[in-house]
Amino acid sequence: MKLKTDILIIGGGISGLTLAIKLAELTKDQKILIITKETLIDCNTYNAQGGIACVWDKTDSFKKHIQDTVIAGDGLCDENVVKEIITQAPERINELIDLGVSFNRNENGQYDLGREGGHSQRRVLHVNDLTGEAIQNVLIKNVKAHSNIEIKENWCAVNLYAQNFKCYGAYVLDQNNKEIHNIAAKAVILATGGTGKIYLYTTNPDVASGDGIAIAYRAGATITNMEFIQFHPTCLYHPYAKSFLISEALRGEGAILKDVYGNEFIEKYHPLKELAPRDIVSRAIDAELKRSGDDYVYLDIASYKDATFIKKNFPRIYENCLKFNIDITKEPIPIVPAAHYCCGGVMAKIDGTTDVNNLFVIGESACTGFHGANRLASNSLLEGLVSAHECANILNEKISKLEIKEFPEWEPGNAVPSTEAVIITQNWDEIRRFMWNYVGIVRTDKRLKRAKKRINLLLDEIDQYYWDFKIEKNLVELRNLATVAKIIIVSAISRKESRGIHYNLDHPMKSEMSRSTTIKRPW
C-alpha cells in the first residue's frame, strides 16, 4: 500500500518524540507520522535509570562539564559539538520540566543532583532510578495531544528508498497484517536507538538491533566510529534476569565493587576507583573475571547505605532484584559488564543532517562527535534532546520547500512463507556469541579476523534467506544486526591503537595521529 506523510519519524524514544512535539508546534500544517517497531515504551529511553547530565548547581560550570566529556571521549570528541550541546542543556531540560517531568528534589526543595563515573561534579538530574520511564511517559502524553501527529506501533522499517544520495521515504512492514507499505515523505528521520542486541550480554531491550544504522548504510550514508561500543560495567548476573542494568548511580552513592570473596579490587586500575570512566571499570571487571575464572563480581551498597535510603533512591533496582531473591538492602548484587551504548553511528551534524539529502539521524543512531571514543555517563539523553531541538529548527526552515515524491511499491518477487525459521535463531545466536567473544571488551587482531571470516559467511546465508522468504520482523532484525556487526568488525580492524572503549591487546598504545573511522558502501 502506498502512503504519504510530510515528515516520517522512525523510532519513538526521547529524540524521536521530542522532535515530533517540537515539529507539531512549529509546522502545524504538516503531517507527522511516527512508526515504532514495537510499542512506544519498547526503547532504550524508557529503560534509562541514571538521568540527564546538566550544569545546574552554581558550584558547577559549563567548562567543567565540557572538560569531563572531552576527557571521557579520549581525544575524539568534536569540542565545538560538545560545547554546543552542553551549553544548551539547562534550556532543554527546563522544556522537559515544562512538559511535566518532575525530577527529584532534596529536603531544601532544590533539584537532587546525582554523580556518576567520570563527572567531577554532581550534575545528574533524575527521577529516582526511573528517569527514562518518567520522561518517556510525559513525552508520550504530549505527543498524543497533537492532532497532526499519527502514531503506528508494531510497524518495522525494512529499507529506505533512496536514489543518488536523496531519500524519498521508506518501506515499512505492518506486523499486524503482514503488509509492506511504502511511505513517501518530504523528510525521513531515523531515531531508532542502539545496537546492544548484537552482543550476547546487553542492557538494551530486544528492539536495539541497529536498524537505523543498517538501513542508512544501505541508502548510502556514511557510518563512523562503530568500533566504539560502550560496555556498562554493571548488569545484573542471574540466569533468568534479562538485560537488567544496575545503574551507575549506585556507585555514585558509595556502592563498592568486590570479588566473590569480598575483596575490593578497583583501586588497582584507576585512582577514581568506582567512579572511573565506564571503559576502565568494565575492563577492570573483565580482567578480574579472566584472572579468577569466576562468572561475576559483586556490587555492594548494602554495607554502606541503610535500607530506607536504598529503597527510596533505587526503587526499580530494589524491586527487580527482589524478584530474583536478591535483597540489595542486605546483600551485594552479582554483576557482569554488558554492551550498553553505541558511540558511533551514522555521521551527522547536531541537527541530524547526513550526507543523504532529506535523511536525518538523531539520538544513539547518529554520530555527531559529541561522545568521541567513550560516552560520559548520562550524556546520552541530553544529546537526544538537543539534537531533536536542532533538527526541528532545520526542518521548520526546509519543509515547505520540499516535495513528496512517490516511489515503486514493494516487489516480493518469488518469496514464499518461511519454512526454516531455525536459520534466523541459529544465526542470531551465533553472531551474538562471536561478537561477545571476539569483538567485546578486550580485542586482538586474531579475534577480529576470526569474527570477520564468520560474519562474511553468515551475511551470504542471511542474504539468500532474505530473498527467498517473505519479510518478517525477525528476519529484518537479523539482516540489520549482521550488517552492523560487520561494520563494527571492519572499523575495529582498521583502528591500530587502543583508545576509549576500543581496547586491542596487539595495539595497547594510543596513536598520535588518531582520527575517526568511516565506512561507506561498498565495503
pLDDT tens digits for range 198-211: 998 899 999 999 99
C-alpha span between 127 and 111 (Å, rounded): 10
Residue 471, CA distances (Å) to 9, 81, 171 in order: 21, 39, 11
Q: Residue 107 corresponds to which cell in the numbers above?
A: 529536603
Q: Which pTM was predicted? A: 0.93
Q: State the pLDDT at residue 423.
A: 82
Mean pLDDT of 192-196: 96
Q: Residue 334 corresponds to which cell in the numbers above?
A: 552479582
pLDDT tens for 266-291 read 999 999 999 888 888 999 999 999 88
Domains with residue ranges and CATH for the chain = 2-227+343-401 (3.50.50.60), 237-338 (3.90.700.10), 422-508 (1.20.58.100)
C-alpha span between 159 and 297 (Å, rounded): 42
SS3 state of residue 318: helix
Q: State the pLDDT at residue 308.
A: 96
pLDDT tens for 164-180 read 999 999 999 999 999 99
36-60 as b/e: b if 16+ CB within 10 A: bbbebbbbbbbbbbbbbbbbbeeeb
Mean pLDDT of 9-34: 96
* The pLDDT of residue 422 is above 90: no
Single-letter residue type at 457: L
**Omega before 408 within 30 of 0, i.e. cis:** no
Please check whether residue 123 is in contact with residue 65, taking contact to mean a CB–CB distance below 8 angstroms.
yes
Helices marked H in 196-351: 211-218, 249-252, 278-292, 307-313, 315-322
Q: State the pLDDT at residue 421.
A: 76
Q: State the pLDDT at residue 242.
A: 74
* The pLDDT of residue 345 is above 80: yes
C-alpha span between 430 and 434 (Å, rounded): 6
Single-letter residue type at 367: C
Q: Residue 373 corresponds to which cell in the numbers above?
A: 571514543
Q: Residue 443 corresponds to which cell in the numbers above?
A: 580485542
> Phi/psi at 39 (nearest 5 deg)?
-90, 175
C-alpha span between 304 and 302 (Å, rounded): 6
> Phi/psi at 260 (nearest 5 deg)?
-65, -15
* The pLDDT of residue 523 is above 70: no
Please check whether residue 200 is in contact with residue 428, taking contact to mean a CB–CB distance below 8 angstroms.
no
Q: State the pLDDT at residue 33.
A: 98
Please check whether residue 43 is in contact with residue 93, taking contact to mean a CB–CB distance below 8 angstroms.
no
* The pLDDT of residue 522 is above 70: no
Q: State the pLDDT at residue 501.
A: 94
Mean pLDDT of 456-481: 92
**Average pLDDT of the residues of the chain:** 94
* The pLDDT of residue 395 is above 80: yes
Single-letter residue type at 421: A
Please check whether residue 193 is in contact with residue 365, taking contact to mean a CB–CB distance below 8 angstroms.
yes
pLDDT tens for 128-149 read 989 999 999 999 999 999 999 9
Higher model confidence: residue 107 or residue 417? 107
Q: State the pLDDT at residue 418.
A: 76
Please check whether residue 124 is in contact with residue 378, taking contact to mean a CB–CB distance below 8 angstroms.
yes
**239 band by pLDDT with thresholds 50, 70 and 90:** confident
* The pLDDT of residue 84 is above 80: yes
Mean pLDDT of 472-496: 96
> Is 375 considered catalytic here?
no
**Sequence-distant (≥ 6) Cβ neighbours of residue 142 within 8 angstroms:** 17, 21, 99, 100
Catalytic residue among 92, 123, 278, 375: 278
Mean pLDDT of 317-332: 96
* The pLDDT of residue 13 is above 70: yes
**Sequence-distant (≥ 6) Cβ neighbours of residue 108 within 8 angstroms:** none
